[in-house]
Amino acid sequence: MQHYSAPLRDMRFVLHELHDSASLQRLPGLEEATPDLLNTVLEEAAKFISAVLLPLNATGDAEGCRWENGVVHTPKGFKEGYRAFVEGGWGSLNSDPAYGGQGLPESVSKLVEEMICGSNLSFGLYPGLSHGAYLALKSHGSEELKNLYLPKLVDGSWAGTMCLTEPQCGTDLGLIRTKALPQADGSYKLTGSKIFISSGEHDLTENIIHLVLARMPDAPAGIKGISLFVVPKFLPQPDGSIGARNGVLCTGIEHKMGIKASATCQISFEDATGWLVGEPNKGMRAMFVMMNSERLSVGTQGLGIGEAAYQSAVAYTRDRLQGRSLAGAKYPDKPADPIIVHPDIRRALMTMRAYNEGCRALGVWVANALDRSERSQDAVERAEAEDFIALMTPIVKALFTDLGFEATNLALQTYGGHGYIVQNGVEQFARDARIAMIYEGTNGIQALDLIGRKMPANLGRSLRWFFHPVAEFIEANAEHPEVGMMIQSFAKAFGALQLATAFVAQKALSDPEEAGAAASDYLRLFGIVALGFMWVRMAKVAADKLSAGTDDAAFYQAKRTTANFYIERILPQAGSLLYAIKAGKASMMALDDAAF
């Protein structure tokens, strides 16, 4: 059985005690976002997902989506679930009030997104893509396009998609072939085939708005000749009502390993009418607004599903009786002890817990930067926040999804053979989580983005927004009476990251293949140090609360214990990652292609 309830206590800790949500109230538009209001939103969201989304997770997986003559039927209950989602306003939390949104902080929206992904990842993909489409149109669309489309995407009556992938073109978007021919009235006619389009066709909304990458005639070859178009399934009337059907056909859906209730569609554009978004041949710039938002969301998918896996494993290992504790029977009245007493099961549970709580803390840190980048009236603060988000986006995407999948795998293992059996629900988590490491730019590509673009950007300036606060924290707290030792251990891992950064920067100058060979290990090293930073900060907050006296001591003691576990049992991987990085590309690249 799948267990998931929103981890509200930990969410409140991260939001208010670790990252001081009240400090966001100085930003324009967030004056009313008090901690009490944010807590109420989280509590209501938790009730909604438990009542509506969680019960549809296993049934949606079993039934899947169905394609019939171009029409896609979502599984039983999804239509009603989506209606309740829209009526509750759950898709518009962080959208602009000018278009009907609620203008709440990004942090609270991210935590609600985590709940949605933890309770039903397939469901979450439908509204998730709409928000990304909203962001791209909002930042690059004309006023006319914004006024027509944004209110409908925000209120959830229309849904969005991102149409990049084609059969011959996945990672390398320069290979796109879909054509866009200019028309006398300023519109375009699009022709081409897209594959793997999430939510490309479904029965949840009255209209579907595709954001499509395509090539105009005579456009430069490769990535420099790509433009972005908005192509609706039904052509909207100027008043926003639905008009004629456009030339957009769903020619089939994929039969997949997981997220079976999310429709992954083949879409054929046949002289479909579309409108340019942004400037000709500058489509990637506009599309990256959606892609960057989706990358952070995909990271949240890894975290949400990792939490669901953890909670299910806790419930199972408390219940399952096998063997006796190595320290002597703990439950002598029972025929055997519950397996939660065994160190190897503890290893799995503590690892999942340390990953999830660490990723939640890091995710909210980045979400707060999103608010500063959008709302601050200080241009320097906005620029710093933008640099920080750019640096952290590949880390959030790849690290959270790698760890999320690892958590599902650990959870499955704690169930033994029962984990492999469909009715027990935990294998669905592993199947669902796997895609997050692949789509929205594979994790290997995220690593190349970190090392090839984000690290050298502005002569390494972006790195400062991570390295400086870490160095300052170490200096200020290394002698802390309670957590000073832990911080000194963390400082060693940070030192490994600094050495690796200098090594990679220097090697990459002479040989880009060296950077490519180091990329995935470097991202993992950066990621586990970033989680380590969150853990030492959380340990300090917990230690200070305990010293001051608290009526919630069990929570803070568990925080400190989990911090210790992370620092002692996971963070030492930093040393071996540095070692691997410094080995360079030689053994990786030595064999001829034919030798494999």
Q: Which residues are catalytic?
A: 440
Task: Give the whole-angstrom CA distance, residue 234 versus residue 248.
Answer: 9
Task: Give the nearer residue to ligand FAD in terms of CB position, either 179 or 320.
Answer: 179
Question: Could you tell me what percentage of the chain is helix, strand and coil, using 3-state DSSP and rounding each to the nearest 5?
Answer: 65, 10, 25
Q: Taking the complex as a whole, how short is the minimal distance between the CB of residue 218 and ligand FAD, in angstroms?
A: 24
Task: Give the nearer residue to ligand FAD in terms of CB position, either 109 or 297.
Answer: 297
* Token pair listed for 182: 């200019």
Task: Give the nearer residue to ligand FAD in terms of CB position, either 364 or 451.
Answer: 451
Q: Taking the complex as a whole, how short is the minimal distance between the CB of residue 161 and ligand FAD, in angstroms?
A: 6
Task: Give the nearer residue to ligand FAD in terms of CB position, either 264 or 373.
Answer: 264
Q: How far is CA 493 from CA 33, 127, 372, 438, 574, in A?
A: 37, 39, 29, 28, 6
Task: Give the nearer residue to ligand FAD in terms of CB position, either 111 or 162.
Answer: 162
Given the rule CB under 6 A, which residues bind ligand FAD? Answer: 162-165, 170-171, 196-198, 256, 264, 435, 438-442, 444-445, 448
Beta partners for residue 460, in sequence order: none
Strand 264-277 to 179-182 pairing? unpaired
Q: Taking the complex as a whole, how short is the minimal distance between the CB of residue 276 and ligand FAD, in angstroms?
A: 19
Q: Taking the complex as a whole, how short is the minimal distance between the CB of residue 469 and ligand FAD, in angstroms?
A: 31
Do residues 216 and 190 lie in contact, with contact meaning Cβ atoms separated by under 8 Å? no
Q: Taking the complex as a whole, how short is the minimal distance between the CB of residue 449 and ligand FAD, in angstroms?
A: 11
User: Whose CB is nearest to ligand FAD?
Assistant: 170
3-state secondary structure of 414: helix
DSSP string of 448-504, one letter each residue: HHIIIIITTHHHHHHHHHHHHHHHHHHHHHTT-TTTHHHHHHHHHHHHHHHHHHHHH
Among 231, 244, 203, 193, CA closest to 67: 203
For residue 390, report the phi and psi dihedrals to the nearest 5 degrees.
-60, -40
For residue 62, report the phi and psi dihedrals to the nearest 5 degrees.
-70, -40
Task: Give the whole-angstrom CA distance, residue 114 versus residue 299.
Answer: 9
Strand 158-163 to 207-215 pairing? parallel
Element (H, E) at 578: helix 573-583
Task: Give the nearer residue to ligand FAD in terms of CB position, either 164 or 345.
Answer: 164
Q: Taking the complex as a whole, how short is the minimal distance between the CB of residue 196 and ligand FAD, in angstroms?
A: 4
* Token pair listed for 292: 């960057």
